[in-house]
Structure 1
Amino acid sequence: MKRSSSLTLTTMLAGASLTVAACDDTPAAARWDQNSVAQGEQVETFQYADLDSCKTANQIPDAECDTAYAKALEDNDKSAPRFEAKASCEETYGAGNCVPRGSGGGSFFTPLLAGFVIGQLFDGGGNRYYRGTGLYRGRDGYTTGWGGTLGRDYATGRTTIGKYGIDPPDAVRQAPPRMQTRTSVVSRGGFGGGRGFGG
Protein backbone atom coordinates (compact mmCIF):
# COMPACT_ATOMS: atom_id res chain seq x y z
CA MET A 1 0.00 0.00 0.00
CA LYS A 2 2.79 2.43 0.89
CA ARG A 3 4.60 1.55 -2.31
CA SER A 4 1.46 2.26 -4.35
CA SER A 5 1.02 5.68 -2.69
CA SER A 6 4.64 6.52 -3.30
CA LEU A 7 4.34 5.59 -6.97
CA THR A 8 1.19 7.69 -7.37
CA LEU A 9 2.83 10.71 -5.73
CA THR A 10 5.95 10.37 -7.89
CA THR A 11 3.82 10.13 -11.02
CA MET A 12 1.83 13.21 -9.97
CA LEU A 13 5.01 15.19 -9.35
CA ALA A 14 6.43 14.16 -12.71
CA GLY A 15 3.16 15.20 -14.37
CA ALA A 16 3.24 18.54 -12.57
CA SER A 17 6.77 19.26 -13.74
CA LEU A 18 5.76 18.47 -17.31
CA THR A 19 2.78 20.79 -16.99
CA VAL A 20 4.98 23.63 -15.72
CA ALA A 21 7.43 23.08 -18.59
CA ALA A 22 4.56 23.07 -21.08
CA CYS A 23 3.31 26.42 -19.74
CA ASP A 24 6.65 28.10 -20.43
CA ASP A 25 6.23 30.29 -23.52
CA THR A 26 9.91 30.00 -24.47
CA PRO A 27 10.52 27.22 -27.04
CA ALA A 28 12.82 24.45 -25.83
CA ALA A 29 15.35 25.23 -28.55
CA ALA A 30 15.57 28.86 -27.48
CA ARG A 31 16.27 27.81 -23.87
CA TRP A 32 19.17 25.60 -24.97
CA ASP A 33 22.37 27.21 -23.69
CA GLN A 34 25.22 26.18 -25.96
CA ASN A 35 27.84 26.83 -23.30
CA SER A 36 26.26 24.81 -20.50
CA VAL A 37 24.37 21.98 -22.18
CA ALA A 38 25.88 18.51 -22.03
CA GLN A 39 27.55 18.09 -25.39
CA GLY A 40 26.84 14.39 -25.66
CA GLU A 41 29.31 11.55 -26.02
CA GLN A 42 32.83 12.44 -27.11
CA VAL A 43 33.61 11.56 -30.72
CA GLU A 44 36.91 11.48 -32.59
CA THR A 45 37.53 14.51 -34.78
CA PHE A 46 39.96 15.83 -37.36
CA GLN A 47 40.77 19.54 -37.38
CA TYR A 48 41.85 21.42 -40.51
CA ALA A 49 42.69 25.01 -41.41
CA ASP A 50 41.23 24.68 -44.92
CA LEU A 51 39.98 22.27 -47.56
CA ASP A 52 43.43 21.57 -49.04
CA SER A 53 44.79 20.62 -45.61
CA CYS A 54 42.00 18.07 -45.24
CA LYS A 55 42.71 16.44 -48.59
CA THR A 56 46.49 16.46 -48.12
CA ALA A 57 46.24 14.75 -44.71
CA ASN A 58 44.58 11.67 -46.28
CA GLN A 59 42.79 10.85 -43.02
CA ILE A 60 39.34 10.75 -44.59
CA PRO A 61 38.10 10.48 -48.21
CA ASP A 62 38.39 13.65 -50.32
CA ALA A 63 34.64 13.62 -50.97
CA GLU A 64 34.02 13.78 -47.21
CA CYS A 65 36.44 16.73 -46.98
CA ASP A 66 34.38 18.54 -49.63
CA THR A 67 31.08 17.80 -47.88
CA ALA A 68 32.35 18.73 -44.41
CA TYR A 69 33.92 21.97 -45.63
CA ALA A 70 30.71 22.99 -47.41
CA LYS A 71 28.76 22.26 -44.22
CA ALA A 72 31.24 24.33 -42.19
CA LEU A 73 30.66 27.33 -44.48
CA GLU A 74 26.89 26.85 -44.28
CA ASP A 75 26.98 26.62 -40.47
CA ASN A 76 29.20 29.70 -40.33
CA ASP A 77 26.52 31.67 -42.15
CA LYS A 78 23.73 30.39 -39.92
CA SER A 79 25.22 29.70 -36.50
CA ALA A 80 28.42 31.71 -36.00
CA PRO A 81 28.41 33.34 -32.53
CA ARG A 82 26.76 36.77 -32.87
CA PHE A 83 27.61 39.88 -30.91
CA GLU A 84 25.86 43.22 -30.87
CA ALA A 85 29.17 45.10 -30.49
CA LYS A 86 32.62 44.48 -31.95
CA ALA A 87 34.27 45.09 -28.57
CA SER A 88 32.20 42.33 -26.97
CA CYS A 89 33.15 39.90 -29.72
CA GLU A 90 36.86 40.77 -29.44
CA GLU A 91 36.83 40.19 -25.68
CA THR A 92 36.12 36.54 -26.44
CA TYR A 93 37.93 36.03 -29.76
CA GLY A 94 40.74 38.59 -29.67
CA ALA A 95 41.47 41.97 -31.27
CA GLY A 96 41.08 41.99 -35.04
CA ASN A 97 39.30 38.61 -35.08
CA CYS A 98 35.71 39.86 -35.46
CA VAL A 99 33.95 41.08 -38.58
CA PRO A 100 30.65 42.89 -39.27
CA ARG A 101 27.86 40.74 -40.68
CA GLY A 102 24.20 40.97 -41.51
CA SER A 103 22.03 43.29 -43.54
CA GLY A 104 23.55 46.69 -44.13
CA GLY A 105 27.06 45.26 -43.62
CA GLY A 106 27.22 45.67 -39.85
CA SER A 107 24.09 44.77 -37.89
CA PHE A 108 26.12 42.35 -35.75
CA PHE A 109 29.63 40.94 -35.42
CA THR A 110 30.94 37.38 -35.62
CA PRO A 111 34.39 35.85 -35.10
CA LEU A 112 36.45 34.92 -38.14
CA LEU A 113 36.24 31.30 -39.24
CA ALA A 114 39.52 29.69 -38.16
CA GLY A 115 39.10 26.35 -39.91
CA PHE A 116 36.77 23.39 -39.64
CA VAL A 117 36.43 20.11 -37.82
CA ILE A 118 35.13 16.75 -39.01
CA GLY A 119 33.70 14.25 -36.56
CA GLN A 120 33.27 10.52 -37.01
CA LEU A 121 29.78 9.67 -35.76
CA PHE A 122 27.52 6.63 -35.78
CA ASP A 123 23.84 6.52 -36.61
CA GLY A 124 21.25 4.41 -34.80
CA GLY A 125 22.17 1.36 -36.88
CA GLY A 126 25.87 1.54 -36.05
CA ASN A 127 26.85 2.93 -39.46
CA ARG A 128 29.66 5.49 -39.48
CA TYR A 129 29.19 8.90 -41.04
CA TYR A 130 31.12 12.16 -41.00
CA ARG A 131 29.86 15.59 -39.97
CA GLY A 132 31.73 18.86 -40.35
CA THR A 133 31.27 22.32 -38.90
CA GLY A 134 33.23 25.55 -38.55
CA LEU A 135 35.76 26.37 -35.84
CA TYR A 136 36.44 29.66 -34.08
CA ARG A 137 39.61 30.37 -32.16
CA GLY A 138 38.91 32.04 -28.85
CA ARG A 139 41.03 32.87 -25.85
CA ASP A 140 40.29 29.45 -24.34
CA GLY A 141 40.79 27.30 -27.44
CA TYR A 142 38.75 26.24 -30.44
CA THR A 143 34.96 26.11 -30.33
CA THR A 144 32.14 25.48 -32.80
CA GLY A 145 29.12 27.65 -33.48
CA TRP A 146 27.08 25.06 -31.58
CA GLY A 147 29.09 25.49 -28.40
CA GLY A 148 31.34 22.45 -28.82
CA THR A 149 34.89 22.62 -27.49
CA LEU A 150 37.79 20.63 -28.88
CA GLY A 151 39.45 18.36 -26.35
CA ARG A 152 41.97 15.53 -26.27
CA ASP A 153 41.65 11.90 -25.31
CA TYR A 154 44.92 11.46 -23.44
CA ALA A 155 44.68 7.67 -23.63
CA THR A 156 44.75 7.69 -27.45
CA GLY A 157 46.12 11.17 -28.20
CA ARG A 158 43.17 11.85 -30.48
CA THR A 159 41.24 15.10 -30.74
CA THR A 160 37.63 14.83 -29.58
CA ILE A 161 34.46 16.88 -29.35
CA GLY A 162 31.01 16.33 -27.86
CA LYS A 163 28.61 14.98 -30.47
CA TYR A 164 26.09 17.81 -30.06
CA GLY A 165 28.83 20.40 -30.44
CA ILE A 166 29.25 19.27 -34.02
CA ASP A 167 25.85 17.74 -34.85
CA PRO A 168 23.14 19.23 -32.59
CA PRO A 169 19.49 18.12 -32.56
CA ASP A 170 17.25 19.59 -35.28
CA ALA A 171 15.37 21.77 -32.76
CA VAL A 172 18.64 23.47 -31.84
CA ARG A 173 19.88 23.73 -35.40
CA GLN A 174 16.67 25.42 -36.54
CA ALA A 175 16.41 27.87 -33.64
CA PRO A 176 17.31 31.50 -34.39
CA PRO A 177 20.86 32.44 -33.30
CA ARG A 178 21.18 34.23 -29.96
CA MET A 179 22.55 37.77 -30.07
CA GLN A 180 25.10 38.39 -27.31
CA THR A 181 25.21 41.84 -25.70
CA ARG A 182 26.97 43.44 -22.73
CA THR A 183 25.12 42.92 -19.47
CA SER A 184 26.58 45.93 -17.73
CA VAL A 185 27.65 49.28 -19.11
CA VAL A 186 29.37 52.20 -17.40
CA SER A 187 26.95 55.11 -17.27
CA ARG A 188 29.43 57.69 -18.51
CA GLY A 189 30.51 57.18 -22.10
CA GLY A 190 28.69 53.87 -22.41
CA PHE A 191 31.85 51.74 -22.42
CA GLY A 192 33.78 49.60 -19.98
CA GLY A 193 32.33 47.83 -16.99
CA GLY A 194 31.60 44.16 -16.61
CA ARG A 195 32.59 41.49 -19.07
CA GLY A 196 29.43 39.40 -18.82
CA PHE A 197 27.19 38.81 -21.78
CA GLY A 198 23.54 37.97 -22.05
CA GLY A 199 20.97 37.11 -24.68
Structure 2
Amino acid sequence: MTTLPPRRKRSVAAGLTAVGAVAMLSGCDDNNEQARFGPPTEVAAFQTVQQCVDSGQFDRDTCVAAQQKAFNEDGKAAPRFDSQQLCEEQFGAAQCQRRSEGGQSFFTPLLTGFLIGQLLNNNSSRYTYGGLYRDRRDRDGGWYTGSGAYLSPNNGYRYNVGSKAITTPVTTQRIQTRSSVVSRGGFGGRVSARSSGGWGGGRSFGG
Protein backbone atom coordinates (compact mmCIF):
# COMPACT_ATOMS: atom_id res chain seq x y z
CA MET A 1 0.00 0.00 0.00
CA THR A 2 1.40 3.40 -0.95
CA THR A 3 2.03 5.69 1.99
CA LEU A 4 1.98 9.46 2.00
CA PRO A 5 5.34 11.26 2.19
CA PRO A 6 6.22 12.48 5.71
CA ARG A 7 5.61 16.14 4.76
CA ARG A 8 2.14 15.29 3.52
CA LYS A 9 1.35 13.39 6.73
CA ARG A 10 2.26 16.40 8.82
CA SER A 11 0.11 18.61 6.63
CA VAL A 12 -2.91 16.34 7.00
CA ALA A 13 -2.38 16.10 10.77
CA ALA A 14 -2.10 19.87 11.05
CA GLY A 15 -5.30 20.27 9.04
CA LEU A 16 -7.18 17.85 11.25
CA THR A 17 -5.87 19.63 14.32
CA ALA A 18 -7.11 22.96 12.97
CA VAL A 19 -10.53 21.51 12.17
CA GLY A 20 -10.72 19.98 15.62
CA ALA A 21 -9.84 23.31 17.23
CA VAL A 22 -12.57 25.10 15.27
CA ALA A 23 -15.10 22.42 16.24
CA MET A 24 -14.14 22.73 19.89
CA LEU A 25 -14.48 26.52 19.79
CA SER A 26 -17.86 26.20 18.08
CA GLY A 27 -19.01 23.70 20.68
CA CYS A 28 -17.88 25.92 23.55
CA ASP A 29 -19.64 28.86 21.92
CA ASP A 30 -22.90 26.92 21.66
CA ASN A 31 -22.58 25.73 25.27
CA ASN A 32 -22.04 29.28 26.52
CA GLU A 33 -25.06 30.47 24.55
CA GLN A 34 -27.29 27.77 26.02
CA ALA A 35 -25.98 28.42 29.52
CA ARG A 36 -27.02 32.07 29.25
CA PHE A 37 -30.20 31.82 27.20
CA GLY A 38 -31.39 28.23 27.43
CA PRO A 39 -31.97 25.61 24.71
CA PRO A 40 -32.74 26.96 21.23
CA THR A 41 -36.24 27.57 19.98
CA GLU A 42 -37.40 28.69 16.54
CA VAL A 43 -38.62 32.22 15.83
CA ALA A 44 -39.27 34.35 12.77
CA ALA A 45 -37.39 37.62 12.24
CA PHE A 46 -38.13 40.52 9.89
CA GLN A 47 -36.94 44.02 9.06
CA THR A 48 -40.33 45.44 8.07
CA VAL A 49 -44.04 44.76 8.44
CA GLN A 50 -44.37 44.20 4.69
CA GLN A 51 -41.58 41.64 4.76
CA CYS A 52 -43.43 39.89 7.58
CA VAL A 53 -46.70 39.86 5.66
CA ASP A 54 -45.05 38.75 2.42
CA SER A 55 -43.53 35.75 4.19
CA GLY A 56 -47.04 34.28 4.39
CA GLN A 57 -46.44 33.14 7.98
CA PHE A 58 -48.46 35.83 9.78
CA ASP A 59 -51.34 38.16 9.09
CA ARG A 60 -50.81 41.93 8.94
CA ASP A 61 -52.26 42.56 12.41
CA THR A 62 -49.73 40.20 13.98
CA CYS A 63 -46.86 41.78 12.04
CA VAL A 64 -47.92 45.29 13.02
CA ALA A 65 -48.31 44.30 16.67
CA ALA A 66 -44.84 42.72 16.67
CA GLN A 67 -43.15 45.77 15.18
CA GLN A 68 -45.06 48.13 17.50
CA LYS A 69 -44.07 46.21 20.62
CA ALA A 70 -40.44 46.15 19.51
CA PHE A 71 -40.60 49.91 19.01
CA ASN A 72 -42.29 50.52 22.37
CA GLU A 73 -39.70 48.45 24.26
CA ASP A 74 -36.68 49.74 22.34
CA GLY A 75 -35.93 52.56 24.78
CA LYS A 76 -35.65 50.04 27.60
CA ALA A 77 -34.36 46.94 25.80
CA ALA A 78 -31.72 48.35 23.45
CA PRO A 79 -28.10 47.86 24.57
CA ARG A 80 -26.63 51.06 26.04
CA PHE A 81 -23.10 52.40 25.59
CA ASP A 82 -21.37 55.29 27.29
CA SER A 83 -19.93 56.69 24.03
CA GLN A 84 -20.96 56.99 20.41
CA GLN A 85 -17.63 55.51 19.30
CA LEU A 86 -18.09 52.34 21.33
CA CYS A 87 -21.62 51.89 20.03
CA GLU A 88 -20.62 52.48 16.40
CA GLU A 89 -17.69 50.06 16.66
CA GLN A 90 -20.30 47.34 17.16
CA PHE A 91 -23.19 48.56 15.01
CA GLY A 92 -21.63 50.76 12.34
CA ALA A 93 -21.32 54.45 11.50
CA ALA A 94 -24.52 56.47 11.83
CA GLN A 95 -26.27 53.43 13.35
CA CYS A 96 -26.41 54.76 16.92
CA GLN A 97 -28.45 57.47 18.58
CA ARG A 98 -28.03 59.53 21.73
CA ARG A 99 -30.61 59.10 24.45
CA SER A 100 -30.96 60.28 28.00
CA GLU A 101 -32.79 59.12 31.09
CA GLY A 102 -32.59 60.07 34.74
CA GLY A 103 -30.06 62.81 34.03
CA GLN A 104 -27.64 60.44 32.27
CA SER A 105 -26.95 60.24 28.53
CA PHE A 106 -25.90 57.20 26.55
CA PHE A 107 -26.00 55.77 23.02
CA THR A 108 -28.08 52.89 21.67
CA PRO A 109 -28.08 51.17 18.26
CA LEU A 110 -30.97 51.75 15.90
CA LEU A 111 -33.75 49.17 16.02
CA THR A 112 -33.35 47.17 12.81
CA GLY A 113 -35.86 44.36 13.09
CA PHE A 114 -38.31 42.40 15.21
CA LEU A 115 -38.96 38.77 16.06
CA ILE A 116 -42.11 36.71 16.46
CA GLY A 117 -41.93 33.60 18.60
CA GLN A 118 -44.64 31.15 19.52
CA LEU A 119 -45.19 30.05 23.10
CA LEU A 120 -47.34 27.07 24.01
CA ASN A 121 -49.53 27.42 27.07
CA ASN A 122 -52.21 24.94 28.11
CA ASN A 123 -52.46 23.55 24.57
CA SER A 124 -53.16 26.99 23.16
CA SER A 125 -50.65 29.14 21.34
CA ARG A 126 -49.76 32.78 21.66
CA TYR A 127 -47.04 34.96 20.22
CA THR A 128 -44.20 36.83 21.85
CA TYR A 129 -42.42 39.74 20.21
CA GLY A 130 -39.10 41.53 20.59
CA GLY A 131 -36.75 44.04 18.97
CA LEU A 132 -33.60 43.07 17.09
CA TYR A 133 -30.23 44.69 16.38
CA ARG A 134 -27.43 43.86 13.92
CA ASP A 135 -23.73 43.82 14.73
CA ARG A 136 -21.94 45.35 11.73
CA ARG A 137 -19.32 42.57 11.85
CA ASP A 138 -21.75 39.68 11.68
CA ARG A 139 -21.34 37.86 8.37
CA ASP A 140 -23.96 35.19 8.87
CA GLY A 141 -27.00 37.43 8.53
CA GLY A 142 -28.11 36.79 12.09
CA TRP A 143 -29.65 39.13 14.62
CA TYR A 144 -29.20 39.95 18.30
CA THR A 145 -31.76 40.70 20.96
CA GLY A 146 -31.23 43.60 23.34
CA SER A 147 -29.77 41.21 25.92
CA GLY A 148 -27.22 39.87 23.43
CA ALA A 149 -28.83 36.55 22.50
CA TYR A 150 -27.88 35.54 18.97
CA LEU A 151 -30.48 34.51 16.37
CA SER A 152 -28.81 31.88 14.23
CA PRO A 153 -30.08 31.72 10.61
CA ASN A 154 -32.08 28.57 9.91
CA ASN A 155 -34.19 28.74 6.76
CA GLY A 156 -35.73 31.77 5.10
CA TYR A 157 -37.14 34.00 7.84
CA ARG A 158 -36.69 31.28 10.44
CA TYR A 159 -34.03 31.60 13.13
CA ASN A 160 -32.96 29.76 16.27
CA VAL A 161 -32.47 31.60 19.56
CA GLY A 162 -32.21 30.64 23.22
CA SER A 163 -35.68 30.18 24.69
CA LYS A 164 -34.94 32.42 27.69
CA ALA A 165 -34.28 35.31 25.31
CA ILE A 166 -37.96 35.43 24.36
CA THR A 167 -39.55 34.39 27.66
CA THR A 168 -37.61 36.52 30.15
CA PRO A 169 -39.27 39.90 30.85
CA VAL A 170 -37.51 42.87 29.29
CA THR A 171 -35.38 44.81 31.78
CA THR A 172 -33.55 48.09 31.45
CA GLN A 173 -30.09 47.50 30.01
CA ARG A 174 -26.90 48.56 31.77
CA ILE A 175 -24.69 51.26 30.28
CA GLN A 176 -21.65 49.57 28.80
CA THR A 177 -18.13 50.95 29.05
CA ARG A 178 -15.18 49.85 26.92
CA SER A 179 -13.74 47.80 29.76
CA SER A 180 -16.99 45.90 30.33
CA VAL A 181 -17.42 45.15 26.62
CA VAL A 182 -13.83 43.96 26.25
CA SER A 183 -14.15 41.75 29.33
CA ARG A 184 -17.12 39.99 27.73
CA GLY A 185 -15.33 39.40 24.42
CA GLY A 186 -17.41 41.90 22.47
CA PHE A 187 -21.01 41.96 21.30
CA GLY A 188 -23.09 39.11 22.75
CA GLY A 189 -20.05 37.67 24.49
CA ARG A 190 -19.55 35.32 21.54
CA VAL A 191 -16.06 34.29 20.43
CA SER A 192 -16.42 32.69 17.02
CA ALA A 193 -15.79 32.99 13.32
CA ARG A 194 -18.57 35.58 13.24
CA SER A 195 -16.19 38.01 14.94
CA SER A 196 -19.16 39.10 16.97
CA GLY A 197 -19.05 40.33 20.51
CA GLY A 198 -21.47 41.29 23.25
CA TRP A 199 -22.34 43.39 26.18
CA GLY A 200 -22.82 42.76 29.85
CA GLY A 201 -21.69 44.31 33.09
CA GLY A 202 -21.31 48.07 32.85
CA ARG A 203 -22.94 50.65 35.05
CA SER A 204 -26.27 49.70 36.55
CA PHE A 205 -28.92 52.15 35.40
CA GLY A 206 -32.64 52.34 35.96
CA GLY A 207 -33.18 48.70 36.78
Q: TM-score, normalised by structure 1?
A: 0.64
- Shift in alpha-carbon separation, 1:43–1:50, aligned structure 2, 3 A: same
- Pairing of 1:2-151 with structure 2 (within 5 A): 38-103=36-101, 107-123=105-121, 125-138=122-135, 139-140=137-138, 141-151=142-152
- Alpha carbons 1:135, 1:142 under 8 Å: kept: yes
Which secondary structure state, in structure 1, belongs to the residue aligned with residue 133 of structure 2?
Answer: strand
CA RMSD of aligned residues (A): 2.9
Which secondary structure state, in structure 2, belongs to the residue aligned with residue 183 of structure 1?
Answer: helix
- Shift in alpha-carbon separation, 1:152–1:52, aligned structure 2, 3 A: closer
- Shift in alpha-carbon separation, 1:87–1:74, aligned structure 2, 3 A: same
Which secondary structure state, in structure 1, belongs to the residue aligned with residue 69 of structure 2?
Answer: helix
Which secondary structure state, in structure 1, belongs to the residue aligned with residue 150 of structure 2?
Answer: coil
Question: Given the alignment of the two structures, is residue 182 of structure 1 paired with residue 183 of structure 2, yes or no?
Answer: no
Q: Deviations over 1:100-148 (max 9, x none)?
A: 112599811001111111112222x132211111110102341011322
Which secondary structure state, in structure 1, belongs to the residue aligned with residue 36 of structure 2?
Answer: coil
Q: Deviations over 1:49-69 (max 9, x none)?
A: 111221222211222112211
Runs of 4+ displaced beyond 3 Å: 103-106, 194-198
Structure 1 unaligned runs (5+)? Answer: 1-34, 185-193
Which secondary structure state, in structure 1, belongs to the residue aligned with residue 134 of structure 2?
Answer: strand
Percent identity over the alignment is 38
Which 10-residue stretch deviates more, 136-145 or 157-166? 157-166
Q: Deviations over 1:35-90 (max 9, x none)?
A: 78531232221111111221222211222112211111122121100001111111
Which secondary structure state, in structure 1, belongs to the residue aligned with residue 128 of structure 2?
Answer: strand
Structure 2 unaligned runs (5+)? Answer: 1-32, 185-200, 203-207
- Alpha carbons 2:147, 2:173 under 8 Å: kept: no
Q: Number of paired residues?
A: 150
